Amino acid sequence: MAPVIINIVAAQSSTGKTTLIERILPLLKSRGYRVAAIKGNLKRFSVDPEGKDSFRLGEAGADIAGLAASDRFILTGKSVDKSGTEAAIELLRDFDLILIEGDKHSENPKIEVLRSAVNRSPLLPANTVAVVSDLSDLMLPVPVLPLEKPGELADFIERTFFPLNAEKESPPSGLTHFDPEGRPRMVDVSAKEATLREAYARGEILMKQETLEKVTGGRMAKGDVLAVAQVAAVMAVKETGRLIPMAHPLGISAVEVDFEHRAGVPAVIEIGVRVKLSGQTGVEMEALTGVSVAALTVYDMCKAVDKDMVIQNIRLVEKKGGCSGHYRREQQ
């Protein structure tokens, strides 16, 4: 089986491509992959200066000349009918993965490195499959992975290019919340690195125009409807691990709740909940639970005057962090 070849590229130099490869190599090796790394697209290089042994052996006609020490070796050679990179890849055909630093114009899959100190605009050459960056607000058509978390890039490479290996520990159904015998389980996230994660969800509650006027005018008998709903959302976020069977109890860092209201027939109160933490799993369920309980609280406080209220369109709007990178719903 031919090796997977990935080019690690950037719009310009000094972005940290070599450092990134250095950081993911031991992670991929620890998973059992044979990995080669090549500095590609060089105009020329010299291992031995002219007149030294490996140069002389190559000039004498050796297809490959080399240098060897007690714990390492280096091989050099000439290629007449293909590029040096292509010739090196041919020699490495028994490897699982070849990481090539550079060459934005290759036809291989590419992972672009974007570091804010050097450049804030991605190049996105053809066949780019992911961007690795220290910018958290990028909205791109490919996954954006955190530069400071090489484990997430290693996960992405394995999941994308070696899916059978990535799924070895998964049950036959592919549903991670079930064990191999089909019994429900909480997913083990202990091996994941803690990263900054964020989710924003929204939902609506439809009501009569008169009901909305009482809510916004503070004339509901039970009190300040939106203030109570805001507290309810925060409490619900913190209790999500108790309410959703396979959700993890999380140490939430921040919860923000916002309300928008629109007059009409029906009138609408839209609820938004944003949740943040630094952890090993996402907070989408927490944001969605917060919206749901806030809407139920509005219903509870207004049901005496309007039993026809409808809760609808509860949805995830945006999430950041984790293996899947940045997601934003197109239809808000």
The answer on 201 and 160 residing in a single domain is no
Two tokens, residue 215: 């809510």
Two tokens, residue 171: 């049950």
The answer on 60 and 160 residing in a single domain is yes
CA 169 to chain centroid: 20
Contacts for 206 with CB less than 8 Å, ≥ 6 apart: 266, 267, 268, 309, 310, 311, 312
Number of domains in the chain: 2
Two tokens, residue 315: 């949805």
Q: Examine the residue annotation and report whether 300 is marked as an active-site residue of this protein.
A: yes
> H or E element: which one contains 23?
helix 17-30
The answer on 128 and 224 residing in a single domain is no
The answer on 290 and 208 residing in a single domain is yes
CA distance 151 to 229: 39
Q: What is the pLDDT of residue 166?
A: 66
| Contact (Cβ atoms closer than 8 angstroms) between residue 146 and residue 134 | yes
Over its length of 332 residues, how does the chain's per-residue pLDDT go in tens digits?
789 999 999 998 889 999 999 999 999 998 899 999 998 777 777 776 777 777 788 778 888 888 888 888 888 887 778 888 888 888 898 999 999 999 999 999 999 999 999 988 999 999 999 999 999 888 899 999 999 999 999 999 999 999 887 655 444 445 556 555 556 667 777 767 788 999 999 999 999 999 999 999 999 999 999 999 999 999 999 999 999 988 889 999 999 999 999 999 999 999 999 999 998 889 999 999 999 999 999 999 999 999 999 999 999 999 998 767 788 887 76
CATH at 205: 3.30.70.640
The answer on 140 and 83 residing in a single domain is yes
Among the listed residues 118, 98, 101, 100, the one whose alpha carbon sits nearest the alpha carbon of residue 11: 118
Residues paired with 312 in a beta bridge: 204
Among the listed residues 145, 153, 144, 135, the one whose alpha carbon sits nearest the alpha carbon of residue 24: 153
The answer on 293 and 239 residing in a single domain is yes
The pLDDT tens digits for 5-33 are 999 999 988 899 999 999 999 999 988 99
pTM of the predicted structure, to 2 decimals: 0.51
Residue 181 domain-assigned? no
The answer on 110 and 22 residing in a single domain is yes
The answer on 148 and 11 residing in a single domain is yes
Residue 134 domain-assigned? yes
CA distance 73 to 210: 81
Residue 180 domain-assigned? no
Residue 216 domain-assigned? yes
Among the listed residues 45, 33, 162, 165, the one whose alpha carbon sits nearest the alpha carbon of residue 109: 162
| Contact (Cβ atoms closer than 8 angstroms) between residue 287 and residue 316 | yes
| Contact (Cβ atoms closer than 8 angstroms) between residue 102 and residue 16 | no
Residue 187 domain-assigned? no
The answer on 273 and 158 residing in a single domain is no
Using the 3D structure, point to which of 166, 183, 212 is the last residue of a domain.
Answer: 166
Positive or negative, the CA dihedral 211, 215, 217, 219 is: positive
CATH at 37: 3.40.50.300
Q: What is the pLDDT of residue 60?
A: 83
Strand 4-9 and strand 97-101: pairing? Answer: parallel
Q: What is the pLDDT of residue 173?
A: 44
Residue 171 domain-assigned? no
Residue 182 domain-assigned? no
> H or E element: which one contains 1?
none
CA 166 to chain centroid: 16
Q: What is the pLDDT of residue 172?
A: 45
Q: What is the pLDDT of residue 39?
A: 87
Domain carrying residue 324: 195-328
The answer on 148 and 94 residing in a single domain is yes
The answer on 80 and 10 residing in a single domain is yes
CA distance 332 to 319: 13
The answer on 11 and 155 residing in a single domain is yes
The rounded radius of gyration (Å) of the Cα atoms in the chain is 27
Identify the active-site residue in 103, 300, 306, 308. 300
Residue 178 domain-assigned? no
The pLDDT tens digits for 174-184 are 555 655 555 66
